[in-house]
Structure formats: structure tokens, C-alpha cells
Amino acid sequence: MIKNQERTMLKAISLGLIDNILIFGNSQLSTQLLKSLSRHGIPVFYFSSKGEFLFSMDSFKEADYEKQREQAQASFDKSFCLKMSKRIASAKIMNQLNLLKAYDEQGLFDEEDFKRFKSACESLESAKSISEIMGIEGRIAKSYFYYLNLLVEEDFQFYSRNRSPSLDRFNALLNFGYSILYSCFIGLIRKNGLSAGFGVTHQPHTHHAVLASDLMEEWRPVIVDDTVMSLIKHGDIRGGAF
């Protein structure tokens, strides 16, 4: 149950409909709810008021160690990782292309501009290593954000893609959205008994949920970039809010 400061119930949600919960700032959950979430294997992610990830609460009840053993073996299979990385990168590039086309309402671009995206997908098929795939993806990302910048209004234009700290409004929105997406994928991974520490593209290192980073790649344009563009386009968020 969600209540306001006057203890009036605003909404009731079945725990069976919840994959994970994200808490920002000083919002609080009752001890009773935390216990229920733990029993149902629902992770809780805590963020600062600025969107910085702080920590998570997880009961690990959903962990399937047999699955994780097979997952670990697959993560060391170079052929499997190469195949999956190609699929993820190709899907991401096509999603980037489709988003640019969807928001290019004034016809700023033509098929010549988009050829490099399709050519990149073709190049992925012959890639021989993960580093080659990431190189192709990185070059396309520069083109993608260059074109994307041409489609946003002046208050949200940006020089280049940057992360922490965000140097402009547009990147601040992207980084905030990506941090939420990252946490959601961690929750889904754990919910399915897998380990977020074994991936296919990103190299494992301490405290990095590499599988979440892998799986979220193709969804960045579809979920976060599209949401940010839509909010700006419809005036739901303005430059003065920053």
C-alpha cells in the first residue's frame, strides 16, 4: 500500500506484479514491507536524490546456482560470447537508426546519412573479436549522438556524450535513465536465478553487473533515449528545470 503523509492510502499494488523497487532521496519503506519484499525475492535499489546508485537490498532467494554454473561456463565460451555480442550490437544499432527516423519529422536526414548504420550491421557479421564489435558500436554511437543532437531543441543540445559528471541537460537525463535501466535489469537477472557478474560483451570486474550492462544495450534507444526525446518534444521537461 502507498500512503501519503496523512496516512491516507493512495494505491494498493500486488507484490506479484512487482519485479523490483527503486527508492530515490529520503523516501522510506516500512520494515513490514521490506520483509515481504524479501520473502518474495523482490530487490530494492536505493539512489540519491540526484540519481546516484547507493546500494541494494536482496534476499538472494531466487538464486539458482545450477543455472549460474552453466552461465559461468557460457561466459568463457568465446564463440558463444561473440555470437551473442553481435546480436546485441546489431539490435542496438538498428534501434538507434529507427529512433532517428522516428524523430526526424522535418526530413533533415536522407538514406545517405543512414547508410553507415546499415553498413555497421553488415560489418558486425564478419567481426572476429569482441573488441572489434565494440569498436564498430563505438563509431556508430558517435554518429548517432551527433544526429540526435540535431533533433533536440536548443536548451537540450549537447556537444558529445558524457557520463559522470553530466556536463549538460541532455546527458543528465540520459545518465539518470540509464542508471534506472541498469538497476531494473539487475533485478530481472536475479529474479531469474542468474548472476549479474557473468556477461558476454563487457569484461567482468568488481562491483560491475556486466550481464545487466550487456542486456540493457539494445534497450537504451528504445526505452531511455525515446523517453527523453518524447519528454523534450512534448514540453514535459524544460531547460529551466535544471
- Angstrom distances, CA of residue 151 to CA of 58, 159, 194, 230: 40, 13, 39, 11
Would you state the cell numbers that stand for residue 219, as one nine-digit string? Answer: 534497450
CB contact at 8 A, 124 and 140: no
Burial class (CB in 10 A: 0-12, 13-18, 19+), 33: middle
The dihedral built from the CA positions of residue 8, 13, 14 and 16, taken in this order, carries a sign that is negative
Tell me how far apart the alpha carbons of residues 33 and 57 are, in angstroms, rounded to a whole number. 12
Binding residues: 137, 202, 217
What spatial distance separates the first Cα and last Cα of the chain, rounded to whole Å? 32
Pairing between β-strand 9-11 and β-strand 53-57 as defined by DSSP bridges: unpaired
Q: Is there a contact between 241 and 177 (Cβ–Cβ < 8 Å)? A: no
The whole-angstrom separation of Cα 223 and Cα 18 is: 18
Known binding-site positions for Mn(2+): 137, 202, 217
Cα distance between residue 72 and residue 177, in whole Å: 29
Reference 223, options 46, 102, 99, 85; nearest CA is 99
